[in-house]
Structure 1
Amino acid sequence: MDVIERVRSGVLGHFGTDRAGVDSASVTFLGLEPIEILRLVSGDHVHYLTLGGSRHPMGDPGDLLADPVKGPRAELTLTLHAGLGAAAGLARTLGVLAASPAVEGVVLQTDALLDLSEPIWRDAPFTAVLLGASDIPEIELPEPAEPVRYLTVTPVTATEAAWVRLRGADALREAWAEAGIDVRDPNRGVAQL
């Protein structure tokens, strides 16, 4: 079983579904293998999950030779309330984010702030994302490869991104909690920072 099939099996098992209950889209970038975006509905939420970013380990872009086996591997998940909007352009954006380690040498990790400089989906006020820990368990790969981790993607506005740069990711999460902001609502307001 290859890496992507292991990841697919692991993540679908986490949600207790199979391929039949999942929509998918594919995003392709010149010179890279396709990134697949899975979309599945679970209760009141819709989950978008990448498949393909973990094919190869992430490494330091300054290294002359990348290790083809060792190194962290990550995929992304974005969860929104079902039926509240979002969609047009979201699969492409998640594909861009998942491909960023291969394209730009970015290492995807908890608390990373990734600025897209354009709306995450059509007409969205969010132009950046904050990565966080996910409740999806790590997906083990054969030794010596490291397991694949899913990271949550939280859309943020330019103001919120500036707050993260100034005060850190935890400070923004605290501001959301104090203001009662549900970051899974695509029509949410912005915390008063």
Structure 2
Amino acid sequence: MADVLPLVEARLRTTLGEPDARAAVTFLGTDRVEVLRFQQGDVVRYATLGMSAQPMAEPTAMLADPVQGPRAELILSVRSGRADTDKVLRPLAVLAASPQVEGLVVAPGASLDVGEALWPDAPFTSVLVAEPGGLVEDLELAEPLDPVRFLPLLPMTPNEAAWKRVHGAQALQERWLSEGTDLRDPARRSVTLE
């Protein structure tokens, strides 16, 4: 439904303020995905806009339901001024288009990999999808549509991504917490892994 995106953008603006930049990316055979940039003090937040236009469908489904199914947008938060993180716009758009392109259902605990540095010289090529609701509340839509969930993305180093595949998302998040890891630091090193 085309009227979902204005509601999503309104929720982002209400919660995060006015975006100071936006970029649009269109991939062959997919809808347009925008990435909005919000500066909040020393933190810059990048939010996708377009992923929630269509519900995500299970890869095994014969036909995608055009109305019902999970909807989401992605949010990445990093400290500004420490790296050229504005180059993350295209990788974020790629991740937001993955449900349409690859038939993925993006959900908390999932790993998403772009296969290259998220921004120039970034030590991260993938992200962990975290639980929604902490930064931007779910956006309820009229029945029978599922709500739009705003999923935070936590950058992972290749070592962390490999460790997460073995031990799980919860174990990695507990390791980050026990080590006092600043997950918004765009130049942070990998957490100590055993």
Pairwise TM-score range, normalised by the shorter structure: over 0.9
1:72 matched to 2:70? The reply is yes
Q: What do residues 65-105 of structure 1 show as CA deviations (whole Å, max 9, x unaligned)?
A: 11100000010000011212132530000000000000001
- How far, CA to CA, are the matches of 1:26 and 1:12 in structure 2? 17
Q: Structure 1 runs of 4+ off > 4 angstroms?
A: none
Provide the rounded CA distance (Å) in 1 between the counterparts of 2:9 and 2:155: 24
- Which residue in the other structure is 1:145 paired with? 145
Contact 1:88/1:122, CA 8 A, preserved across alignment? no
| 1:119/1:34 CA distance change after superposition, 3 Å | same
Match in the other structure for 2:48: 50
> 1:114 matched to which residue of 2?
112
Q: Give unpaired runs (5+ residues) of structure 2.
A: none
Task: Give the distance between the partners of 2:166 and 2:84, measured in 1 at CA.
Answer: 28
Superposed counterparts of 1:86-165, under 5 Å:
86-134=84-132, 135=134, 136-165=136-165
Instruction: Tell me the percent identity.
Output: 46
**CA offset at residue 117 of structure 1?**
2.1
1:41 partnered with 2:42: no
Aligned residue identity for 1:29: F
- Does structure 1 retain, via aligned residues, the 8 Å contact 2:94–2:114? no
Question: In structure 1, how many angstroms separate the alpha carbons of the residues matched to 2:142 and 2:37?
Answer: 27
**Paired letter, 2:112:** L
Equivalent pair of 2:116/2:125 in contact (CA under 8 Å): yes
How far apart are residue 174 of structure 1 and its match?
1.4
> Cα deviations across residues 20-65 of structure 1 (Å, max 9, x unaligned)?
x431011110121210000011122100000000000001122111
Give distance in 2, aligned partners of 1:174 and 1:87.
Answer: 26
> Which segment drifts farther, 94-103 or 122-131?
122-131
Question: Whole-Å Cα distance in 2 between the matches of residues 182 and 47 of structure 1?
Answer: 15
**Which residue number corresponds to residue 178 of structure 2?**
178
Where does structure 1 lack aligned partners over 5 or more consecutive residues?
none
Q: Secondary structure at the match of 1:89?
A: helix
How many residues are paired up?
A: 190
